[in-house]
Amino acid sequence: MFGQQTALRKFAIASKIKRGKNNQARMGTIPSETIEQIAAANDIVEVIGSYFPLKRAGANFKALCPFHQEKTPSFMVSPSRQTFHCFGCGAGGSVFRFVVDYEHIDFPTAVRKLAARAGITVVEKSGGRGAGDEERQRELRQRLLKLHAEAAQWFDENLIRREVGKTARQYLRSRGITVEIAMRWQLGYAPDEWDAFGSWARSRGYDVRDLIASGLIKAKDDSDPTGSQRSVSAQGAAHATASYDRFRGRIMFPICNDVGEVIAFSGRLLQDEEGAAKYLNSPETALFRKGGVLFGLDKSKRALIEADCAVVCEGQLDLISLFESGITNVVAPQGTAFTEAQARILKRFVNEVVLCFDADAAGQKAAERSLDALLQNDLIVRVAEIPAGEDPDSLVRREGKTAFEKRIADARDFFDYWIERETANLDLNSLSAKMEVARTLAETVSYVHDPVMRGEVISKISARLAVSASAFAALVPKQVRKGPSEMTTERRQQLVPPNDIALLCILALRSEQAHQFLRAQSWREVLSQLPSTYFLERILESEVRPNDSASLSAFLASLEPEEEDIISGWLHLKTPPNSVAVPWLRLRQAALRRQLDIAKDRIRLPELSTGDVINLQKQILDLQEQLHELSQPAGRGDN
């Protein structure tokens, strides 16, 4: 028994260490004092109310939960506790947790977002090996974010207000992009000059090394295979400087991360020139990884969540035209096909994807190349029919929103489209041709994890190829897949403590007096004898101040999401009338009974020496005496 108890305690300690590391990673290097300051400056009612309306419900506020479908409001916000909790789906926590879940961003990003809202500067801790490099990288990112924000504004002013952007404005107008739309998307124009942007940026005090690191300018000895053809005199003028502009004579589309910060640009050539790429993107930088960003996500993510479906198009103009027509659940990959990282990002918001790629060979190829990444992330994929010579931009402008929405609704299952395409010119009488296409199809089917979907696809393919379903299934390679990260019912049951411990947790978080009382007891000794005490230990060993909502928010931010859900639910219950001494007394009694049971089991072991037996007898008598004393009235056990 002693060995089993020790093993259980070691397991609990290991779990705490792991949780501590997870919490540390979640908190990043932002000091807890800063988190408290940010929490105090961001009233949770105002923050949540900026996303959707809240209605007063007594001392609290309520609304329909944004995290699950419901008809009766069960989403509650407490101004006094500065917490939220949904009694329908169980989501809950501090203002930080709300922004994390609603915006689909990580914890440090949510902290910075709320800090910016309150005008607070976030200074992160540094320390340990490699801290200097991390600090330099962080400072570089901040400088590049500032540069990109100001560059976007400069490009935008060129397009909207300056004579140099007149031709670009006329082109965009011909594509249905008004000045108002251009301003909403902060479209811009890069003048057809070698040093227009670079000269402006240097005049603003930007260092050339940062400008080169941003990818917005290039060193003069860099090759420029995608640039426009220029005269000898113009080339000479460029080489007279240390660097030159990457984007010249292009309409500029800012590329934002999912919180709306400009991190890169895509430039469309205004006048086609031989040897020049029609579209030119920023190179990969400290801010930008081409395969990890979806264009338009910062504007469309709420619509994606609500629709549970993403309409995917190829180009920025396609996306903008669809969005402005009222089809707002749209994204575009930064290239012709989805990467694994982009598919993972998309899965955070939707379960279904409708591909709206061009009908030409390149568009069809892009759709096929996207499939594996999308299927690996359990996304249902359909393909909308786009007539030859058309694209989403031209279709929605010509046919209107309703007609395009019908195309989306009528989009075919990708496998129906793909099987038909792969077998259209196949000679089914040729065994070698049939085997070749069967292996190709089987490789892609292996990425379908859902057993029902996989079975349906296998049936369709085997019927089309005129082979048995079992024979085709034998060709499908097995894929290794990681398990889900969601909290299971068993995990929740392990986390939720028994009644008395839960009651003490509530009292310790709601009452300064109760918190001080428990801290004054020998709580570590008592709790070490009992199971399911993790939450109470976390509360008592923390510096949380129950009467300070900012301190409470900082404590909640240190927890894992599923732990925060549980505690936020407790905080939204009515304060129990019980005195803290009563449940604490029962806990002390439970700890003594547990020790007594262990001693009684131990004394029955045959291999004990006479000395061991005598010691155990004394221990049993002592424990029985302590239990008898605690059972006496007049609160003798409260001291």
User: For 292-410, CATH number?
Assistant: 3.40.1360.10
The phi and psi torsions of 227 (rounded to 5 degrees) equal -75, 170
Classify domain 134-224+238-288 at the CATH superfamily level: DNA primase, catalytic core, N-terminal domain (3.90.980.10)
- Cα 215 to chain center, whole Å? 27
Higher pLDDT, residue 620 or 170: 170
Question: Which H or E run contains 253?
Answer: strand 250-256
pLDDT at 194 over 70: yes
pLDDT at 215 over 90: yes
Could you tell me where the DSSP H helices lie in 29-130?
Answer: 32-41, 44-49, 95-103, 107-118
CA-nearest of 620, 626, 623, 627 to 604 is 620
| CATH fold for the domain made of 30-118 | DNA Primase; Chain A (3.90.580)
pLDDT at 486: 45
pLDDT at 575 over 80: no
Buried b (16+ CB within 10 A) or exposed e, 504-539: bbbbbbbbeebbebbeebebeebbebbebbbbbbbb
pLDDT at 240 over 50: no
CA-nearest of 395, 408, 409 to 318 is 395
Helix, strand, or coil here: 301?
helix
Of 69-73, 327-331, 427-431, 614-618, where does mean pLDDT reach its minimum?
427-431
What are the domain boundaries of the chain?
30-118, 134-224+238-288, 292-410, 420-473, 489-638
pLDDT tens-digit readout, 547-570: 888 888 888 888 888 888 888 888
Task: Decide if 30-118 and 134-224+238-288 have a common fold.
Answer: no
CA–CA distances in Å: residue 189 to residues 118, 146, 254, 314, 461: 33, 19, 11, 21, 49
Of 92-96, 233-237, 423-427, 631-635, where does mean pLDDT reach its minimum?
233-237
Secondary structure of 102-134 in the HEC alphabet?
Answer: HHCCCHHHHHHHHHHHHCCCCCCCCCCCCHHHH
* pLDDT, mean over the chain: 81
420-473 carries CATH number 1.10.3470:
no
- Number of H-type helices and E-type strands within the chain: 30, 17
The phi and psi torsions of 248 (rounded to 5 degrees) equal -140, 130
Beta bridge partners of 264: 255
pLDDT tens-digit readout, 310-353: 999 988 999 999 999 999 999 998 766 788 888 888 888 888 99
- Cα 492 to chain center, whole Å? 22
What is the pLDDT confidence band of residue 405, given thresholds at 50, 70 and 90? very high
State pTM to two decimals. 0.62
Q: What percent of the chain has pLDDT over 90?
A: 31
pLDDT at 522: 85
Mean pLDDT, residues 104-124: 85
Number of neighbouring beta carbons within 10 Å of residue 14: 10
